[in-house]
Amino acid sequence: MDVRGIAMTKRRIALTELEIGSALTCDAYDEHGRLLLRKGQVVTSASQIDRLIERGLFVEVQSTRDSVPSVAQETPSAASLVLEARRRLQLVCTPNGSKQDFPQQIAAISELVTRACGLSEEAALATSLLQRNGRYSIRHSVDVAVACHVIGCALKTDERELSAMIAAALTMNISVLQLQDILQAQKEPLSETQLKIIRHHPEASAAMLGELGVTDQLWIETVLSHHEAIDGSGYRQGRKGDQVPVLAQLVSLADVYCARISCRDYRPGLRPNAALKTLFLDQGKKVRDGLASQFIKAIGVFPPGTPVRLENGEIGLVTQRGASASTPQVCSIIGPRGMPLGTPVRRDTSRPTLAVREVVDWTEVGAVPSMQALWGQNGAIY
């Protein structure tokens, strides 16, 4: 065998390759080549994953002179860009993470979100339902940023405002990230101390951003106001009507929606259509007239990644918003008799026999095909 053109290079391990209870399939190193985990070692906790991500985790792979060894040089996909945004936000927001040039670091993460949505809004939105590994507080912030990009583009928000809104979504909870992770697993009601921290976090987060060098007042004002409501029921300043910026109202809608579809350690997330219904009923009067409806229209009544049952009895996942709210594109993955299909089958839900009958619980879905099987290259994860 001619080995002259073969060399060893490093590939960063993707978040999806680190699952609690699963053994590594190869040795893993940090960016300096120091061995961190042996092949076969089991990842035992979410905190272990967080520490590994913070240090950087790589595996050695063979490459030839003609191969493309770096993940950064891979053909980008919407899903991988969203996961990379999560990874970078995790790095910058850890207590020991570098805060040097913080505004520029957040701008770079915002650009990843923008690129992901530019490649495929559908695949980018679906990551919130199909890629739930990693730290909740970080994942939630990026999910909200994706939703904000989608609604911002639907409303033709100008570029400066769109950038400020995405940056605000990524950093709105910067002062309470650790508390968010605690509450994700907490069954008991919030303590008085926790409630006080939550109610003051918009101001605390805005203040932190100023200390970290953020001078964009649109960004800071959006963070400061993202829990205000036009009917005066928000917190903490009790603003009303036009005192609440529209950008903050959009971040609020995305924040509530993404929180409601997220699983907690003690309960499953709401089904996406149910989350949107409660969003309309609960938040409709807290934002300007028609804004909640516009948000739902942009995200889709059946958002990408939603598991549904069709009239013929098949179960599939929504892959694309359709020509109408009730006719999304679906890939069936389970046949009418409950047997998994060999490969996902695209279905035209505008046909009466293939119409969406209902949204189903994840327990009825079982193993989900890879995102690449559902969205092609834009679902690929590196």
Residue 119, domain member (yes or no): yes
Q: Which of 73, 96, 117 is the last residue of a domain?
A: 73
* Cα 134 off chain centre by: 11
Band of the pLDDT at 5, cuts 50, 70, 90?
A: very low
Tell me the average pLDDT of the chain: 87
For residues 382 and 177, give the distance between their C-alpha atoms in angstroms, rounded to a whole number: 26
Q: Return d(Cα 102, Cα 209) in angstroms, integer.
A: 9
187 lies in some domain: yes
pLDDT at 70 over 50: no
Q: Which amino acid is at 38?
A: R
Mean pLDDT of 182-189: 89
- CB within 8 Å of 67: residues ≥ 6 apart: none
The Cα 356–Cα 331 span in angstroms is: 12
How confident is the model over 279-324, as pLDDT tens digits? 999 888 899 999 999 999 999 999 999 999 999 999 999 999 988 9
State how far the Cα of 106 lies from the Cα of 89, in Å rounded to an integer.
8
pLDDT band with cut points at 50, 70 and 90 for residue 199: very high
Q: Which amino acid is at 33?
A: G
Q: Is residue 378 part of a domain?
A: no
Q: What is the mean pLDDT of residues 136-155?
A: 97
- More confident of the two residues 202 and 184: 202
Of 1, 2, 39, whose CA–CA distance to 22 is shortest?
39
HSE-CB for 179 with a 13 A CA cutoff: 15
Residue 104: inside a domain: yes
Output phi, psi for 257, to 5 deg. Answer: -60, -50
Percentage of residues in the chain having pLDDT higher than 90:
68
- In this structure, the answer to whether residues 292 and 324 fall within a common structural domain is no
Q: Is residue 370 part of a domain?
A: no
- Cα(167)–Cα(147) distance, rounded to whole angstroms? 12
Instruction: Count up the domains in the chain and report the number.
Output: 3
pLDDT score of 182 more than 90: yes
Least confident of 39-43, 150-154, 232-236, 362-366: 39-43
> For the domain that residue 36 is a member of, what is the CATH number?
3.90.105
| Encoded tokens for 196 | 């006080």
The verdict on residue 38 lying in a domain is yes
